[in-house]
Amino acid sequence: MSRILHVLNDLDVGGVQTWLRQALPLAHQRGWQLDVAVTMRGRGDLAPEFAREGARIFECPGPSRPFEFLHTLTDVLRREGPFEVVHSHFDPVALPLIAARRADVPVRVAHSHRGCRELRTMPGPVRRLAAPFLQRLIDRHATLKVACSDTAAVAVFGKDAEASGQVHRFRLGLDLDRLSDSGSRYPAGMTTGSPTILHVGRLSHEKNHRFLLRIFGEIRARWPGARLWIVGDGPMAGLLQATVDSMGLAGAVEFLGVRQDLGVIYRAADVFVMPSRVEGLPLAAIEAQATGLPCVFSSTITREVTICRDLVRWLDLETPADAWADAVLGMLGRPRRDRRAQVVEAGFGMVSSMAALARIYRTAAGRGRASA
């Protein structure tokens, strides 16, 4: 059995974590033992599900303590291994790869999803100096570079690596069966006004929820019965609830938290809105299209997210909230039909995703042997 360790900052509900959780049964069918390493504060809501599927969870110090992180992860790899693959989704992505090389792990995958959070919070001059250093660390310690989109590739690996074809594109797969039509019109215990606007995403700065609330305020002024559903959880939950109250939108905006009935929620909504500041390739945007839900996205999101062109409209973040509201209301009333087959054809099905992952590991293993 192949032993593979995925390294993440946390096991909170998010695109990468959800994909990996849903991938575990197929991984077992392939004879893989998938384990995870996270920071000591990162076990998250999904940790029990990972444990039930047989994944071991190892805890390390956070990236603010890099030397302790390296010591701890290196010890885990040596003590609990041997591992054949270390797959880093970590932020910053290079740290787990350094530990993996120290522990003689042959396959070391650097995976970019949207860019390094530490880099984004640095002042511009510091960021310009730090980025090449981190890229050199990745070049030295990774046997393969992977990204979910062109935007994510450039953000972590640089324009030269993307242009030269050094970065492999990999699409996280979706368990589309959970988006099937259950026959329920609305989620349990919920009703809807008309229209119902939906957003799915972690409640954090990059998702731009405060602008979303401004957009909804404009929609509500035009259509007093409108409702906004926000699915997800995160560090900005309290601030956003206070913002809703201050805007006089209490009762019109519902924070639904982490949900297991997303298929029903997508199908009950009328328009999906995602005005993100930063994204790699958001899986919620793919899920929305899979259910035939019209979408309005910010132009900061990669066009690679487009599966069903007739369902998607793009707007710049500089566009005023009232123009966004016009665009959202203009998407109402479009015929709905299931688009899951298109999503699978575009490569976002779980089976094709796992097959692609196997090819990535074989490629990385070949490069590792060649450089040994």
* Amino acid found at 26: L
Contact 86, 5 (CB under 8 A): yes
Place of tokens 């290196």: 74
Predicted TM-score (pTM) of the model is: 0.86
- Per-residue pLDDT at 42: 75
Answer yes or no: are the C-beta atoms of 34 and 24 closer than 8 Å. yes
What is the predicted pLDDT for the residue at 87? 97
The answer to whether 6 touches 50, Cβ cutoff 8 Å, is no
CA atoms 186, 187, 191, 192: torsion sign: negative
Question: Do residues 25 and 106 make contact, with C-beta atoms less than 8 angstroms apart?
Answer: no
Could you identify the residue written with the tokens 């074989």? 362
pLDDT of residue 372: 47
With beta carbons less than 8 A apart as the criterion, state whether 38 and 8 touch.
Answer: yes
**What pLDDT was estimated at residue 130?**
60
Residues 6+ apart with CB under 8 A from 354: 23, 26, 27, 30, 173
Partners of residue 230 on adjacent β-strands: 199, 255
The pLDDT value recorded for residue 189 is 55
pLDDT number for residue 174: 92
Residue type, 31: G
Query: What is the pLDDT at residue 158?
Result: 83
Ordered mean pLDDT values, 10 residues apiece, the chain (372 residues):
91 90 92 94 88 95 93 97 95 94 96 63 48 83 92 85 82 88 59 83 94 97 94 93 96 92 92 93 95 96 93 97 97 92 94 91 71 50
pLDDT in tens, 266-292: 999 999 999 999 888 899 999 999 999
Question: Among 86, 84, 85, 82, which residue's Cα sits nearest to residue 60?
Answer: 86
DSSP assignment letter at 173? P
Q: What are the tokens at 231?
A: 């699915």
